[in-house]
A and B are shown apart, each in its own frame.
Chain A
Amino acid sequence: MQNPVYRRKEANMLKIEHLAWSIPGGEEIIKDINFTADEGKLIVVTGPNGGGKTTLAKLIAGIECPSNGKIIFDGEDITSLDVTERAQKGIAYAFQQPVRFKGLTVRDLLELAAGGKLPEEKLCALLGQVGLCANEYIDREMNTSLSGGESKRIEIATVLAREAKLSIFDEPEAGIDLWSFSRLVETFQQLRSRGTGTLLVISHQERILSIADEIVVIADGRVRMVGPGKEVLPQLLADERAARCPLGKEELA
């Protein structure tokens, strides 16, 4: 009798191959990006403004279509799949600018994200992870009555609610206060420690970079540097000091 065949678990949850994207009829923003993100890891994508980080996140989520290259997710080529299909396969995406809805409450959005009704304890836990008290927010509409920081944290909570294989956060620190940011960093650490689900975070924040398993530096539409966080972060910090200090990094070192 044959042994049952088990599918090998993909170590690479996400594999980006020669990815390129241009503004329709215009400049090439993403030129040739290659990297992999392993299962259960926290990958931080960083780099200068305008380098293509948000576009890369949108290409992975299916919001933009690449002009060249492949996106392999959990062993499957998903390059031709649309946003809904990718979401259903397990990609979650937190918008940099949260979307407002007249009429949809925080509970509605979290339940849509989770794919069904959520008990109060779960709703409380999800909002707690982004530093919000469920009682105050759960039945409020996700409209302009919420501050920028509040809506940003709810946006992040909608991605946490999905418990997806790959969760993408585009500058989660933007617009939220220091206390909530600390809570968010803890949440990323907790999610990573579970070892299930890969986190891809676009960030400039040193505190997020410092907890990264891998750092991918994107500049001018290409990967300028990639490697373990422990190796890449010191180089980034040295470069940053060199850029600011007229004496240059050699003197500082």
Chain B
Amino acid sequence: MNKITEELLKEVADFKGSFEGAYNIREDGGCAGRQSTKNIQITSKEDLPGIDIHIAPGTKGETVYIPACVTHSKVDDLVYNDFFVGEGADVVIVAGCGVHSEGDDQARHNGIHRFFLKKGAHVVYKEKHLGTGKGKGLRRIDPVTDVYLEEDSVLEMDTVQLGGVDRTVRKTNGVVGARARLVVRERLMTDGDETARTDFDVTMEGEDSGVDLMSRSVAKGHSHQEFYSCIKGKARCTGHSECDAILSENGTVTAQPALEASHIDASLIHEAAIGKIAGEQILKLRTLGLTEQEAEARIVEGFLK
């Protein structure tokens, strides 16, 4: 593992010199370290770049780390990672991604992750993205997340990108079975000339299935964000999406949320708000002794916490 990978891992995957339990570290398209455990087996794919992660039924309290780093320009890394989570398992999956570029060429990571959760499984999936380095080459991260939830399973996805990624297109697709739930929390901040596009497409097929999608973003500088979501209810189900964006300086945001109900008992709600920080919020914090700049920073920090 090189120095840059080590630094990126500290930021995106809580790396403290080593990982405990199962892990696979991907560096510039290669493997920089792997460990399986009794309950979590990590194997290379034979037909495609990437790995299969098999989590045994009933596994409780384990964390799997599968971070990926691109440490220089002229790298276009494409990886397919599949997670097979056994019945009743309850685990945390940490999949941080960092791209670093000092050159004029692009550095890109494109991770295609598929999650197959068996009956009653529970996964907390943490995804943190970061771009570093001063090269002119674009830093790109284009993740695709496909989720298949069997009955009574729950996937909580926590995705964070707070800076340095010049271009990103983030696609999340899901099929939710009976009494299963998909919860997605996205936090995104763009600055400079960065662009970010988010696409959510989730179908609730099982009775009493549920989706809760919350996106909070801040667009600064001349950055641009696009948010598209489509929640489809094909059974008795509840779907909720909430998209809040704060504009700062010359940042721009497009939000196009969509709901599709094709069952009489599908209950779908969408809430969306785009705007600058409310003047009264800044004023309130100023009456507590903060300057205008401190107040703005604190509001953004809390919003994206």
Which residues of A are interface residues toward B (Cβ below 8 A)? 61, 63, 82-84, 87-88, 92-93, 95, 99, 101-105, 108-109, 112-113, 115, 158, 162
Judged by a CB distance under 8 angstroms, whether B286 is at the interface is yes
Q: Looking at the complex, which one of A61, A84, A92, A103 makes contact with B305 (CB distance below 8 Å)? A: A103
Nearest 5 pairs between A and B by C-beta? A103-B302, A103-B303, A104-B302, A99-B284, A87-B289
Closest CB of chain B to A185's CB: distance in Å?
23
Please give the distance in Å from A161's CB to the nearest CB on chain B.
9
Asked if A102 and B216 make an inter-chain contact with CB atoms under 8 angstroms apart, the answer reads: yes
Q: Which residue of B lies closest to A94 (CB)?
A: B287
Q: Are B280 and A104 in contact (CB under 8 A)?
A: no
Q: Which residues of A contact B304 (CB under 8 A)?
A: 103
Residues 69-89 (chain B) with a chain A CB within 8 angstroms: none
Is residue B256 within 8 Å, beta carbon to beta carbon, of the partner chain? no
Do B283 and A63 touch (CB < 8 A)? yes
Instruction: Determine if B299 and A61 form an interchain contact, defined as CB atoms under 8 angstroms apart.
Output: no
Determine if B280 and A158 form an interchain contact, defined as CB atoms under 8 angstroms apart: no
Contacting residues of chain B (51-81) with chain A, CB-CB under 8 angstroms: none
> How many interface residues does chain B have, given as a range?
20 to 34
Is A104 a contact of B287 with CB atoms below 8 Å? Answer: no
Tell yes or no: B298 within 8 A of A by CB: yes
Which residue on chain A has the smallest CB distance to residue B187? A103
A113 to B298, CA, bound (A): 13
Indicate whether B291 reaches chain A with its CB closer than 8 angstroms.
yes
**Which single residue of chain B is at the shortest CB-CB distance from A158?**
B288
Q: Is the CB of B299 within 8 A of A103?
A: yes
* Shortest beta-carbon distance from B277 to chain A in Å: 10
Q: Chain B residues with Cβ under 8 A from A109's Cβ?
A: 288
Query: Quick one: closest B residue to A63, CB to CB?
Result: B283
Instruction: Compute how far the CA of A104 lies from the CA of B295 in the bound complex, rounded to whole angstroms.
Output: 12
Is B281 interfacial (CB 8 A cutoff)? Answer: yes
Please give the distance in Å from A152's CB to the nearest CB on chain B. 13
**Interchain nearest-CB distance for A195 vs B (Å):** 24
Given A87-B286, A87-B288, A162-B288, 18 extra CB contacts under 8 A? A61-B287, A63-B287, A83-B283, A83-B286, A84-B291, A87-B287, A92-B287, A95-B284, A99-B283, A102-B302, A103-B216, A105-B302, A108-B302, A109-B288, A112-B298, A113-B288, A115-B289, A162-B289
Q: How far is the CB of A142 from chain B (nearest CB, A)?
A: 9
Distance A59 CA – B302 CA, assembled complex (angstroms): 29
Contact for A84 among B280, B286, B301, B303, CB less than 8 A: B286
Residues in chain B near residue A102, CB distance under 8 A: 216, 244, 302-303
**In the bound complex, CA of A163 to CA of B249 (Å):** 35
The reply to whether the CB of B31 lies closer than 8 angstroms to some CB of chain A is: no
Does B285 touch A at the CB level, under 8 Å? yes
| Bound Cα distance from A184 to B289, whole angstroms | 24
State whether the Cβ of B104 lies closer than 8 Å to any Cβ in chain A: no
